[in-house]
Structure formats: structure tokens, C-alpha cells
């Protein structure tokens, strides 16, 4: 199920995105990985150490045509031409980690953030917040339900953040497709 939202900026929500067995397989693979803690001005999370494992996950998603389905969803929702080449990343969030308000301005791409976790509850934190200003006022909260996510086009008013995780761990698998200029 997918739905296009227009406020606070255009974004698309995807629920039950992967087949349940694929979501479970990807989540289990991410849970077994080695992660490096990274922190910056507005973020703190784990970054996947093993690039080969990331490539194996991408290959599995490609075999299941998930990557092309994500591209098609973003292309259709935002009516823009996107590259057929996907860039991928994976992040892990543990208690005390999150992301402060920021945009990915300057990145000419459409992104889809897929949430993967076990038994998330609101008291666990890690809630995505979307807004059109750095104060995120008003903020649109998105629960990081496993096997759900959201997609958007990076821009100067696409502020997003993740509240601090307070319990357990969750993962974000990021699909990124460059915008084809003049397409």
C-alpha cells in the first residue's frame, strides 16, 4: 500500500513494502552485521562496516525486483525521471542515537527510507519527523513500523529528523536514485 502526502512537503508512504519473508531475511542479516558508530553535527547512528554484505542485500532486492519497484514508486509519485542505478546505505539506531533536523539539499536524488525492526512501540523512540523548516514546526511524525517507509525528493525545504531511540534497535535501508536532468 502506498500513499502520496503533500504536507509538510511531498512524500510517499509505503507500507508492507517487502514480502514478509524478505523483510525478515534482510532484518536478520542487518542484525548480524558489524557496525561502526558515526556521529556528526546532527546525527549519531551505526554505519554498516561490511560493504560486501550491503551489496549482497542489494543483489537480493534486485533479484526480487524490489529496487526497480522503489524506483517506479518514486518516479510515479513525483513525476520525475530517475536513474536506473541505485545507491544504497544501511543505518542502525540504538538507544541514545538519532538524527537532528536537516535537509539533504544539494543531493539531486529521490530517496526511500525503509524501516526494519522487531516489535517497535512508540515508547522506543526513533520516530521520523518531517517538516518544511529547521524547527520542524509543525512536524509530521512517521512511526518507524517495520517494513514501512517513506520517499521524498531532496530539497531546501525537505527537513527530516529522527527522535532519539530509547530502547532496542532499528535499521533504515536507504534507496537513492539520482534525478535524470532534462529527462
Domain span at 142? 13-172
Tell me what the mean pLDDT of segment 81-91 comes to: 94
Instruction: Inform me whether the pLDDT recorded for 169 exceeds 70.
Output: yes
User: What CATH number is associated with residue 117?
Assistant: 2.60.120.620
Q: Is residue 177 part of a domain?
A: no
Q: Is residue 3 part of a domain?
A: no
Q: Is residue 182 part of a domain?
A: no
Q: What is the pLDDT of residues 13-64, one digit of tens each?
A: 999 989 999 999 999 999 999 999 999 988 999 999 888 889 989 998 888 8
What pLDDT score was predicted for residue 51?
Answer: 86
CA 159 remoteness from chain centre: 14
What total number of domains does the chain contain? 1
Q: Is residue 118 part of a domain?
A: yes
The three cell numbers locating residue 169 = 534497535
Tell me what the mean pLDDT of segment 96-105 comes to: 93
Q: Is residue 1 part of a domain?
A: no
SS3 157: coil
User: Cβ(30)–Cβ(171) under 8 Å?
Assistant: yes
Q: What is the pLDDT of residues 139-161, one digit of tens each?
A: 999 999 999 999 999 999 999 99
Q: Is residue 7 part of a domain?
A: no
Give the integer Cα–Cα distance in Å for 58 and 61: 5
User: Cβ(171)–Cβ(130) under 8 Å?
Assistant: no
Give the integer Cα–Cα distance in Å for 54 and 112: 16
Q: Is residue 6 part of a domain?
A: no
Q: Is residue 52 part of a domain?
A: yes
What pLDDT score was predicted for residue 1?
Answer: 66
Give the integer Cα–Cα distance in Å for 30 and 33: 5
Amino acid at each position: 500500500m502506498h500513499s502520496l502526502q503533500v504536507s509538510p512537503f511531498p512524500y510517499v508512504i509505503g507500507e508492507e513494502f517487502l514480502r514478509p519473508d524478505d523483510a525478515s531475511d534482510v532484518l536478520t542479516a542487518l542484525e548480524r552485521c558489524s557496525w561502526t558508530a558515526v556521529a556528526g553535527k546532527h546525527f549519531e547512528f551505526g554505519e554498516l562496516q561490511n560493504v560486501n554484505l550491503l551489496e549482497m542485500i542489494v543483489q537480493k532486492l534486485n533479484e526480487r525486483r524490489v529496487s526497480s519497484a522503489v524506483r517506479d514508486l518514486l518516479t510515479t509519485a513525483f513525476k520525475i525521471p530517475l536513474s536506473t542505478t541505485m545507491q544504497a546505505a544501511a543505518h542502525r539506531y540504538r538507544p541514545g542515537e538519532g538524527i537532528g533536523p536537516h535537509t539533504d539539499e544539494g543531493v539531486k536524488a529521490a530517496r526511500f527510507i525503509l524501516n526494519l525492526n522487531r516489535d517497535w512501540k512508540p515508547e522506543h523512540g526513533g520516530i521520523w519527523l518531517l517538516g518544511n523548516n529547521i524547527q520542524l514546526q509543525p512536524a509530521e511524525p512517521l512511526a518507524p513500523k517495520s517494513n514501512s517507509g517513506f520517499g521524498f525528493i531532496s530539497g531546501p525545504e525537505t527537513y527530516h529528523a529522527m527522535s532519539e531511540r530509547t530502547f532496542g534497535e532499528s535499521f533504515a535501508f536507504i534507496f537513492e536514485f539520482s534525478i535524470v536532468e532534462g529527462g
